């Protein structure tokens, strides 16, 4: 059975009235990222809406900076919407014929962007960020930008820095330093940052056979060995300290080198991070990279939450995938949703547990000595 989605807009999200959009023909949105070493950009979305009377009486709210939210099949007004965004661009496709003030083939095309887009447009104005722990620096960034930056992460010490680019650049540099993740679809000016050791656990998993309240059945799985997930040499180059380089034992020249610029608080911290990254990416691996699920194929649809409190928390969440009798433990890096009145599809981009092999005590997947690595 097709799933129902509701799209609403408001010109003043926090205090205004929400108005439902009729005749929505197509919805798509993406959160997170596809690959582990991708830098983050704002989440994106798009809507296609029938617009038969729009030429004669246009919807004047359908302009950039209007707020939009998308409710999923299991979301209600008492819960979080799946996606919150702001209109970025609007265009109209006019068709033939146009009779009596009605254009039956007219369509409104809307593109959306998440809250991180605001940070990416805000100049840092050379703000002098004082040295401190990550939590304190994020609170300072929230004050300077007016954005709400939520933190579900460890709070390592961070170096002092000058925000000479945008605040989005500073957030990405911070995420690289803590090896963290970001989602920005839970609120219009809200950006959630999470660390690798704080991964939430989905109570609903994926299977190629089981189709029930705790397993979403998928119809496509992609495996791959990615060149961007294999390096024989790592260089971590902090802004205020000497760069630190580590190399795989037995590696030969020319090395496959990954260089990352960080806000590390010391050379020792940078060296620890370099060793950590080499433990992650120093071995070639053939791994599960994505699964794709048809919403109406589920006997108990759960993909708009997967047991978590909001869709945005799926980024960085732990999930298992059963494929041909083998269980693969993975981290969700990003999600793409496409929906029409007839059908909807969810594609989950994954990284393997062996690329997230930090040590968490008493954990069945991440708590095995000599297999999992200490963090930094």
Could you write out the DSSP letters of every residue in 213-246?
Answer: TTEEE-SEEEEE--GGG--SEEEEEESSS--EEE
Is pLDDT of 16 > 90?
no
Helices (H) and strands (E) in the chain, counts: 4, 24
- Residue 169's SS3 state is helix
3-state secondary structure of 311: helix
| 33-42, 153-162, 168-177, 304-313: segment of lowest average pLDDT | 153-162
When mean pLDDT is compared across 46-50, 158-162, 227-231, the lowest value belongs to 227-231
Tokens 């059963």 locate to 322
Length of the chain: 376
Per residue in 122-146, pLDDT (tens digit) is: 999 999 999 999 999 999 999 999 9
* pLDDT tens-place string over residues 175-198: 999 989 999 998 888 899 987 766
Is-cis flag, bond preceding 254, omega within 30? yes
Task: Note the pLDDT tens digit of each residue in 267-301.
Answer: 999 999 999 899 888 888 778 999 999 999 999 99
pTM: 0.92
State the sign of the Cα–Cα–Cα–Cα dihedral 326, 331, 334, 339. Answer: positive
* pLDDT over 60 (residue 369): no
121, burial (CB in 10 Å: exposed 0-12, middle 13-18, buried 19+): exposed
Average per-residue pLDDT for the chain:
90
DSSP 131: S
Window from 32-36, 209-213, 372-376 with minimum mean pLDDT:
372-376
Structure tokens at 351: 């990284």
Peptide bond into 372 cis (omega under 30): no
Least confident stretch, 7-16, 222-231, 317-326: 222-231
**What per-residue confidence (pLDDT) applies to 365?**
47
Query: What are the start-end ranges of the H helices in 122-252?
Result: 134-145, 167-178
pLDDT at position 353 is 78
The three-point CA angle 157-357-42 to 5° equals 65
């Amino acid at each position: 059975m097709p799933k129902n989605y509701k799209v609403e807009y408001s010109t003043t999200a926090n205090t205004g009235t929400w108005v439902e959009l009729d005749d929505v023909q197509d919805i798509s949105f993406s959160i997170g990222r596809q690959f582990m070493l991708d830098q983050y950009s704002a989440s994106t979305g798009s809507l296609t809406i029938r617009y038969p009377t729009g030429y004669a009486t246009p919807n004047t709210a359908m302009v950039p900076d209007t707020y939009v939210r998308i409710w999923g099949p299991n979301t209600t007004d008492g819960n979080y919407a799946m996606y919150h965004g702001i209109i970025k661009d609007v265009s109209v496709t006019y068709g033939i014929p146009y009779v009596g003030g009605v254009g039956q083939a007219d369509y409104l095309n809307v593109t959306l962007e998440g809250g991180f887009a605001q940070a990416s447009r805000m100049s840092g104005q050379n703000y002098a960020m004082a040295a401190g722990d990550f939590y304190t620096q994020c609170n300072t960034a929230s004050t300077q930008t007016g954005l709400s930056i939520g933190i579900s992460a460890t709070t390592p010490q961070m170096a002092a820095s000058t925000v000479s680019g945008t605040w989005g650049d500073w957030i990405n540099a911070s995420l690289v330093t803590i090896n963290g993740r970001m989602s920005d679809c839970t609120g219009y000016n809200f950006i959630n940052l999470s660390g690798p050791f704080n991964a939430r656990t989905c109570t609903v998993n994926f299977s190629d056979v089981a189709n029930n309240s705790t397993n979403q059945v998928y119809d496509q799985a992609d495996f791959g060995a990615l060149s961007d997930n294999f390096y024989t040499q790592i260089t971590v180059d902090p802004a205020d300290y000497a760069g630190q380089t580590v190399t795989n034992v037995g590696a030969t020249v020319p090395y496959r080198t990954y260089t990352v610029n960080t806000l590390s608080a010391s050379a020792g911290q940078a060296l620890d991070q370099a060793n950590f990254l080499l433990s992650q990416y120093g071995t070639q691996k053939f791994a599960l990279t994505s699964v794709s699920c048809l919403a109406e194929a589920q006997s108990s649809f759960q993909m708009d939450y997967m047991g978590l409190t909001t869709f945005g928390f799926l980024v960085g969440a732990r999930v298992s995938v059963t494929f041909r009798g083998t269980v693969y433990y993975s981290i969700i890096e990003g999600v793409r949703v496409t929906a029409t009145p007839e059908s909807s599809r969810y594609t989950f981009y994954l990284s393997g547990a062996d690329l997230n092999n930090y040590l968490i005590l008493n954990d069945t997947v991440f708590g095995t000595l000599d297999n999992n690595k200490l963090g930094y």
